[in-house]
Amino acid sequence: MQFQWYPGHMTKAKRQMQEDMKLIDLVIELVDARIPLSSRNPDIDELGRNKARLILLNKSDLADEAAGRAWAEYFKAKGCFVVALDARSKTGMKQVTAVVMEACREKIERDRKRGIVNRPVRAMVVGIPNVGKSTFINSYAGKACAKTGNKPGVTKGKQWIRLNKNVELLDTSGILWPKFEDQSVGLKLALIGAIKDEILNIDELSLELIKVLTEFYPGVLNARYGTDGQPIDEAAKPAEILGQIAANRKCMARGDELDYSKAAALLIDEFRSGRLGRITLERPKE
């Protein structure tokens, strides 16, 4: 994270979000497609109850497509609409508007029955830091749309971005904090680079990554780090696998000792830069 969360921040952020929720019909929640659960704060389920919900599996370009489909099913079963997205290249962006309308169909219908027509759907973007909220807002809103400005008496101090005749977006996103007190959540956030490296134990992180890779992506470690004479034994314990990577990549400390930390850093770097392929670090449980 770019910043630390303290209880005071969290209370303030939550209160702000409670206020903003009163103004909107739809919550657009961004999660990181590589860790769709660990990159969200479940408090949003409570904060956004009674609202239409759209979950964007962002950074899908870095995640595994099959796992993405499983996650989409998982969130749909919870009553959310889901779109897999790459906010940077805008892949999937066209689908968003259609799904926004679909998600708000009930509300539009309700309005119509009350004689309210052409009232735009109001939406708000939420998510933990670094999931791509501002990238998404910029891509989605594009240059074409104008800010509608303050509407005194109705939404004092709030700026709305008019996306088209049907949708308005609150121009500041709601920032949620991750559930970092859960150790495995913290490790996964760290693996995708969402927590600063200086405060991390790089060896421990690499062991977590090795566990995930051998479980969900058998063969990947051997393909990248094995040699004809020295294949990676993926059935070995994670620390032993790290040793094999160190040996094959000649990560040596003083003398002829293996440098585990160097191998750990190498592995994490190659994962983050996509050289191990498109990888999703967690799967839905049920």
Q: Which residues bind ligand G4P (CB under 6 A)?
A: 58-59, 61-62, 86-88, 127, 129-135
Taking the least distance from each CB to ligand G4P, the nearer of 135 and 261 is 135
Taking the least distance from each CB to ligand G4P, the nearer of 120 and 132 is 132
**What's the closest the beta carbon of residue 175 comes to ligand G4P, in angstroms?**
8
Taking the least distance from each CB to ligand G4P, the nearer of 135 and 155 is 135
Site of tokens 């994490």: 268
Position with the least CB separation from ligand G4P? 132
Question: What is the secondary structure of 126-190 as a DSSP string?
Answer: EESTTSSHHHHHHHHHTTT--B---BTTTBTT--EEE-SSSEEEESSPEEPPP-TTSHHHHHHHH
**What's the closest the beta carbon of residue 53 comes to ligand G4P, in angstroms?**
18
Taking the least distance from each CB to ligand G4P, the nearer of 87 and 189 is 87
**What's the closest the beta carbon of residue 185 comes to ligand G4P, in angstroms?**
17
β-bridge pairing 26-32 and 52-58: parallel
Are residues 222 and 229 in contact, defined by beta-carbon separation less than 8 angstroms?
A: no
Q: What is the distance between the alpha carbons of residues 153 and 151, in angstroms, rounded to a whole number?
A: 6
Taking the least distance from each CB to ligand G4P, the nearer of 126 and 242 is 126
Q: What is the distance between the alpha carbons of residues 35 and 192, in angstroms, rounded to a whole number?
A: 8
**What's the closest the beta carbon of residue 55 comes to ligand G4P, in angstroms?**
14
Q: Which two tokens stand for residue 284?
A: 């839905």
**What's the closest the beta carbon of residue 91 comes to ligand G4P, in angstroms?**
8
